[in-house]
Structure 1
Amino acid sequence: MSPLALSLPAQAAGPDKDHSVAVDGFASVEAGGGWSEGTVTVKNNADAPYSGQHLVLYLGSEMLGTDQVAAEYADGASGSWQPVKLVNQAMSNKPTGYEGVAADLTGAGIDVQPHAARTFKLRFKLVQSKHEGPWEDVELRAMLAAALDANGQVKDWTATTQKTVRTTGLTTAITGLPKEIPADGRPHAFQVSIKTAYGFDWHLTTSSFFLWAGQKYGSMEGPAACDAQVDVQDPKDGSWHKVGMKAVGMIGQDVDLTKWATGPVDNRVLNARITLGKNFKAEKDATLSFGYYPGAGPMLFWVDQPIAAVPVEGAPECVNPDVPTPAPSVTTAPTSTPTAPAVTSAPAVVPVTAPTTAAAAATPAADTRSGAELADTGSSGLGLTAGIAGALLAAGGAAIVLARRRTRSN
């Protein structure tokens, strides 16, 4: 449930069947894209006209402020579009905005005739700002209120309705990782791609991995250190850095995207590797995930990749992806019977080093320009193809309680 829904002002005393408000349209909104359009309709079900009711609009989201939203309205189907003055909403104990925006839609009380309705066209869009996000779907709430406080906030309401507007424009994918990973104590390379539409900068700075071994073997703390390891690569020198594997929200993330991811703001790429040890066990619902753990923070930056662990005989008890792989043992037949050499052991897996393949060479270089305009930092559309991963982690019936930071530093 959104913070907006948890902290609405109280309804005016007693039900008011004479007043109603409805919201239609607004299928989705894409960050940096065009308008999301719909209508807000106010109805008078009474035998007498009423006036003085304020039509108040709330656009609520975890990281949404007035510099991230533009809105316009029109009175009736033939009305011309007018800008909507938005203020940071103040419906909870948070001292300053970035939990949503509010507007007295018409700026004055509205009149509605008996058994009649007034429909307002409304459109809004998410624009580029200096702040993170938007990280959640937008909760659009329309309210009728008899009075507002000095800051334009609703004191109480007589009618209200709410609609969730899907936020799009951010696509995260794990690529190059086999579904069946040998539990051989050797590193296996993959990439994480993070793409945005319209060159939009979501100000991605940190993230985290979560390795879930499935309902039977999985732990919210991740696997044991000897059983698995995830590393990310520094593109500057090719070095590898061990990162965490437990579920964290917006606190405790240890994947530094500003340091380790390459490419422009709308096409970031992270080189990584995973190593599974002899004793790593996984059920069929095992996943490797990346982003902000859902339920402990924002919902839109998260991807699950199903995995399976394949046991390998002779694998080491404890993973160490930096140990050189020994050469295979080879014997030959007696010289009296010339034959081709017989391999008596499985070929060794080549350890992962700095990328040297053509695909790795095509990885975009890191954008080091400070304060560059989006028109300069956005990519030309080239790069890895990233699929939308919409499945959220299902951790069985386990109760998950994680720290949630509601304010991010700019």
Structure 2
Amino acid sequence: MSTSPSPRAGLPFTLANGVVLKNRLAKAAMSEQLANGRQDPDKKLERLYRTWAEGGVGLLISGNIMIDRDHLGEPRNVVLDDASDLAAFRRWTRAAGAQGTHFWAQLNHPGKQTPKTLTKEPVAPSAISLGKELAPMFNRPRALSDGEIVALVGKFARAAQLAKEVGFTGVQIHGAHGYLVSQFLSPLHNQRSDRWGGSFENRLRFVLEVYRATRAAVGADFPVAIKLNSADFQKGGFSEEESMRVLEALAREGIDLVEISGGTYESPAMVGAQEQPREQPKESTMRREAYFIAYAEKARLRVRTPLMVTGGFRSSAGVEAALAGGATDLVGLARPLAVEPALAIPLINDPAYRIELPTPTTGVKLVDQLTFLVLTWYETQLARMGSGKRPLPDLNPWRSVLATLCGMGMAAFGKRRA
């Protein structure tokens, strides 16, 4: 193993539009659940993101910011629209921009993935319910009309325009994890017979229109990225080959960065489980940490667009290997930053550094499942940092269950995002 610091993780990266990120490490989106009662950024979000900015990463991507306050994915999502308190957003972006860190807003609409406790009538490309296992928690959606789809394209663009106005330095369209954009792309969830569904080209239309409207709203010099599924990992769903075709289409349109992820609420590959390849991977592949690096290697042969791979990174060696291989330009970090907010410093400077993440469990499997402890435990760590406290890697999982219940009630539970 090399005895010198990573020559790549600490290097600047320049996007095609000239925007420079100070290093190759990015904080990927995580569910913070720290909005106030009006769905505006709470002061805890300011503290949390200032902590991460001071921790040394080059790029911070917010947890999903909803574009429609009538359709939330979680009880305390932030919403950015014309009813938002823009002063609160400006305080948030100033805090996150400390140390020359870029701060991008992840823009999202949940579509059918909104709990019945939050939305009585969800909307989606088609009136198709989530799987039977999820039926108790999610209502059957109503199919969007053509006019409503056009209006949603406009809402994405308006949110992006407002994001630029309040001080975000870029935006990311959430096109993964089974949310609305992902639903339009999926042949399993989009069975429309009009211009928005059916053929691949029609299913592609929504994300292209969202991108084009967003680009028109913010201009050529403002970064516009997307989080894209490598696949949905569902029979009859969005496949890897279709994902590659979406990637190529967005590359032709001029998108600035693609973050690669995978899975949906029904098949959550983005939460702790690595890719499930059809063939036994090579030993060299098994040694690598990143969940979606094999997809990125294939994508690199098809597009020149900058790529970001998130998920699985735990060591300086793993980060260096991913960057040295050329498949990814940026390394996305999520849960490791929930327990070590200054993770970027050792990843860049200590070639032997490795972080081990706990597997939180109450010892009662049903409680772990009902509270989705694999995520809410980390949300509790974010809340601690937002309150000015240090994370507790040995935090008792029961404390996390209690804290989440007290903070949000039973609406906090059920299937959750990564």
Fold conserved (TM > 0.5)?
A: no
TM-score by structure 1 length?
Answer: 0.25
Larger-Rg structure: 1
Bigger proportion of residues as strand: 1
TM-score of the superposition, structure 2-length normalised? 0.25
Q: In proportion to residue count, which structure has more helix?
A: 2
